[in-house]
Structure 1
């Protein structure tokens, strides 16, 4: 046998272009670009700085919820209670500041902490009992919903102090007015993108989503990690509550009734697998924008809201179908 026949075949490393094209967010980003081009050609109002700022304002609350939802879905879980937890956090911080005389900043911190407490309880039940995330968060949805209506006495809280609505104010960016809340949402996406891609904690999250047992055998403290992820998600929902209150200017007990499904929609459209272990926070940001662009563009075209919902449903089914087919193709 000659030396040449014994030389192993070199494995070609994928090029940067190939890695970009095969990234989970590549397809959603292409869909976002195509949708933007379509609506730009369909209506003159779409392609403007003011309209893009409006889209960001419309999606900042759901987008923030979707960050926490992404963390949980990456572990192969799901959170049906995120919208209800956010609604309770919004009512809590509004009533503390308006009715109880608690300093606004302290009211905000307490509300965020309580939302984190909801997440902590979810994590404890999922990991220590253990119960399926679907069941735990379904039950928590009803608990948070009931507590919101009991605590608010079905009354909308008005007359909020300035710190509670500060994130709803705007600042000029070029010729466009942008809200501080939109800037905070984008900042949160960047922070969690780094946390997932640039830290050991993020690598552990992906490992947990791929296989909890393999993660445990590799030395990862799975129980502590899972509880921590649900708690962090709850804290993020508390920030979403502040954004909601700052955008609407009131504490509304009717808020958050569809945001749980909207956040799941954004995560799925952004390329995160419902089976766990694959996806990115930046992909979720793209998914949030896809939902915002479609709803905004269809509204500018005069399309009824029921058809906007129909289109969103079709997009979700397509996204999950693509994920399932891609998983089969890698086996």
Structure 2
């Protein structure tokens, strides 16, 4: 644990340097990039993936992975919107139902991983397809519109100087700060890192590994539900086709943020930086007039480089 801790600051510094270099580059390419309005837009564009990536980070820190996060988010959004619009349920109760559904999916993932001992990749690949099918069947592949204001409130903005800032952006940053505090300064956070470093050693020290894993997957599901609410607030509709690429975007943010895919090493704030890096790349390339297919290409290259750097950093101390 001490060895890993000594390397965390260096792992945390890399994403910040990458973000700085990226911003400098795009500032030289477009006069519109480094403006309050554009930077606020970048944060609005990444807030959904950013919150998804919090849950994904928790799971990856335990040496797991969750491929289902995007589709679970879509299902949660459909439950919230249909309950509020089609069934006339109180909007806050509808939100709670959506959060319960996504948390339930996370709990299911955790139980399958811990009780049946299935690999997280296989489990979440299965629940991805299950969530997708349920979303399409439940929604009849129809968008839900005319939402009550309670469901879209986080899409509202306020003035910060001359820049409009989304309430959803503030919520995302607040969730990151909360997660950072819990992981750094509480016993559950330390237990999570211990399980990710070496599950068997953690078990021998008295940590209930299975309980930690189930709690992590369930908590991740809760974050997916919050991301669903942010998605609904940003778009103003319940979209059954949402979330089809967000799972990969969330994993990309985690990897670019310096969290090891092998578990036990990473800082949650790095994930926020990773999500912003992806958002900055896409925004900057759009301002430069680069086609979206090249944006995807560059993002893929960045992921490979980040994983390669993680591999080399793991081999270095040995």
Report TM bin, short chain. Answer: over 0.9
Please list, as runs of the form range in 1=range in 2, the aligned pairs for 1:137-148 lying within 5 A after superposition: 137-148=124-135
* Alignment match, 2:166: 179
* Alignment match, 1:57: 44
Give the Å deviation of 1:176.
Answer: 0.3
Matched, 1:319 2:272: no
Give the Å deviation of 1:110.
Answer: 1.0
Contact (CA 8 Å) 1:272, 1:283: kept in 2 or not? yes
CA deviation string 1:109-150 (max 9, x = no partner): 110011000000000000011100000000000000000000
TM-score, normalised via structure 1 length: 0.93
* Alignment match, 1:32: 19
SS in 2 for 1:23: helix
Give the Å deviation of 1:25.
Answer: 1.6
Contact (CA 8 Å) 1:266, 1:291: kept in 2 or not? yes
- Aligned residues between the structures: 313
- Cα RMSD (Å): 1.0
Matched, 1:233 2:220: yes
Contact (CA 8 Å) 1:294, 1:308: kept in 2 or not? yes
* Alignment match, 2:57: 70
Q: Mind listing any 5+ residue stretches in structure 2 that lack a counterpart?
A: 1-5
Give the Å deviation of 1:23.
Answer: 2.8
CA deviation string 1:5-47 (max 9, x = no partner): xxxxxxxxxxxxxx79943121111000000001011100001
* Alignment match, 2:96: 109
What is the CA–CA distance in structure 2 between the aligned matches of 1:330 and 1:169, rounded to whole Å?
A: 48
What is the CA–CA distance in structure 1 between the aligned matches of 2:7 and 2:91, rounded to whole Å?
A: 45
CA deviation string 1:70-96 (max 9, x = no partner): 000000000000000000000010000
Matched, 1:265 2:266: no
Could you list the structure 1 runs, at least 4 aligned residues long, displaced by more than 4 angstroms after superposition: 19-22
Contact (CA 8 Å) 2:8, 2:267: kept in 1 or not? no
* Alignment match, 1:151: 138
CA deviation string 1:188-243 (max 9, x = no partner): 00000001001011100000001110000000011111100000000000000000
* Alignment match, 2:281: 294
What is the CA–CA distance in structure 1 between the aligned matches of 2:263 and 2:87, rounded to whole Å?
A: 42
CA deviation string 1:49-105 (max 9, x = no partner): 000100000000000000000000000000000000000000010000000010000
Please list, as runs of the form range in 1=range in 2, the aligned pairs for 1:180-195 lying within 5 A after superposition: 180-195=167-182
Equivalent of 1:120 in 107, 115, 121? 107
Contact (CA 8 Å) 2:8, 2:265: kept in 1 or not? no
Equivalent of 1:309 in 274, 296, 309? 296
What is the CA–CA distance in structure 2 between the aligned matches of 1:74 and 1:267, rounded to whole Å?
A: 10
TM-score, normalised via structure 2 length: 0.97
Matched, 1:43 2:30: yes
* Alignment match, 1:10: none
What is the CA–CA distance in structure 1 between the aligned matches of 2:53 and 2:316, rounded to whole Å?
A: 27
* Alignment match, 1:251: 238
What is the CA–CA distance in structure 2 between the aligned matches of 1:223 and 1:267, rounded to whole Å?
A: 23
* Alignment match, 1:8: none
Q: Decide which structure has the larger Cα Rg and report it.
A: 1
Q: Mind listing any 5+ residue stretches in structure 1 that lack a counterpart?
A: 1-18
